[in-house]
Amino acid sequence: QVQLQESGPGLVKPSETLSLTCAVSGYSISSGYSWGWIRQPPGKGLEWIANINHSGSTSYNPSLKSRVTISVDTSKNQFSLKLSSVTAADTAVYYCARCNWNYRHFDFWGQGTLVTVSS
Amino acid sequence: EIVLTQSPGTLSLSPGERATLSCRASQSVSSSYLAWYQQKPGQAPRLLIYGASSRATGIPDRFSGSGSGTDFTLTISRLEPEDFAVYYCQQYGSSPPVYTFGQGTKLEIK
């Protein structure tokens, strides 16, 4: 069974960089698929942030692209997210997920991690 | 960029009733790239339907998806108590490569 687990600081100061890692078990990232980050502000809907595939090809939400970097470490079977210059509007539950390459949906999700932006 | 609009915002029904949730796209979407998710409080979204009409592994057959072009529907034939949750549709557009979610429909017990 594919499992994903997010990790990273739960509190980030405004203007700083949010950094999260998603550890994948039960499937080798280098075997294929695409891997993504999705966030959900408290009480609101889902917003896709970025995707990366096993070879490092990336796609970004245009509204966040200037501040986002997604990367993959196949040796550790994990992928990461960096979001710079954060504000209170970036407070959200951040999910990592596996993306089916053929049908472009997210079939396995992490439990999510709440990141609060506050001084 | 394609916008997905879900309706209604909130749907109040009783167990045993039929639920019909709508997802309308601002321009045509490939049926292959339309999915539905269920989310319960404090949980991650759960994939229900992909390719507009294919049920994900382990999803009961009371859940069905249909539609094409700009109009897609998620139908729950007979509501069970565990079906009351928020439902999201999601699409993928290749130019540019972007994933978009609808704003969600909350299905609540009447």
Residue of B43, B51, B88 lying closest to A46 (CB–CB): B88
**Closest among B87, B65, B66 to B7, alpha carbons compared:** B87
User: Tell me: the pLDDT tens digits for A68-88?
Assistant: 999 999 999 999 999 999 999
A111-to-A22, A52, A95, B44, B68 alpha-carbon distances in Å? 11, 19, 7, 6, 31
pLDDT at A95: 98
Q: Which of the four pLDDT bands, split at 50, 70 and 90, describes residue B10?
A: very high
Residue of B43, B47, B104 lying closest to A105 (CB–CB): B47
Q: Which of A1, A38, A46 to mutate to test the interface with B (most CBs of B within 10 A)?
A: A46
pLDDT at B96: 82
Give the percent of chain A with pLDDT over 70.
100
- The residue with tokens 């979610």 is B101
Q: Is B28 helix (H, G, I), strand (E, B) or coil?
A: strand
- Find the closest chain B residue to A99 by CA distance: B99
State how far the Cα of B48 lies from the Cα of B110, in Å rounded to an integer: 23
Question: Strand B63-76 and strand B86-94: pairing?
Answer: unpaired
Tell me if A46 and B32 make a contact (CB, 8 A cut-off). no
Q: Using omega within 30 degrees of 0 as the cis cutoff, is the peptide bond preceding A42 cis?
A: no
Q: Which of the four pLDDT bands, split at 50, 70 and 90, describes residue A101?
A: confident
* Contact between residue A113 and residue A6 where contact means Cβ atoms under 8 Å apart: yes
Tell me if B50 and A107 make a contact (CB, 8 A cut-off). yes
To the nearest whole Å, the CA of A33 is away from the closest chain B CA by 15
Tell me if B44 and A47 make a contact (CB, 8 A cut-off). no
Give the percent of chain B with pLDDT over 90.
95
User: Tell me: the pLDDT tens digits for A110-119?
Assistant: 999 999 999 9
B71-to-A48, A77, A88, B74, B80 alpha-carbon distances in Å? 21, 38, 35, 11, 25
B102-to-A58, A80, B13, B59 alpha-carbon distances in Å? 23, 25, 21, 21
Phi and psi at residue B81, in whole multiples of 5°? -55, -35
Average pLDDT, chain A: 96
User: Tell me: the pLDDT tens digits for A14-28?
Assistant: 999 999 999 999 999
Q: For residue A107, which residues of chain B lie inside 8 Å, CB to CB?
A: 47, 50, 56
Q: Report which of residues A30 and B104 the model is more confident about.
A: B104
Type of residue found at B10: T
Q: Which of B29, B99, B101 to mutate to test the interface with A (most CBs of A within 10 A)?
A: B99
Tell me if A47 and B46 make a contact (CB, 8 A cut-off). no
State how far the Cα of A11 lies from the Cα of A116, in Å rounded to an integer: 5
Q: Hey, is the C-beta of B65 within 8 angstroms of any chain A C-beta?
A: no
pLDDT at A61: 96
pLDDT at B97: 87
| Strand partners for A11 | A116
On the question of pLDDT at B51 being above 90, the answer is yes
Tell me if B45 and A51 make a contact (CB, 8 A cut-off). no
Tell me if B44 and A59 make a contact (CB, 8 A cut-off). no
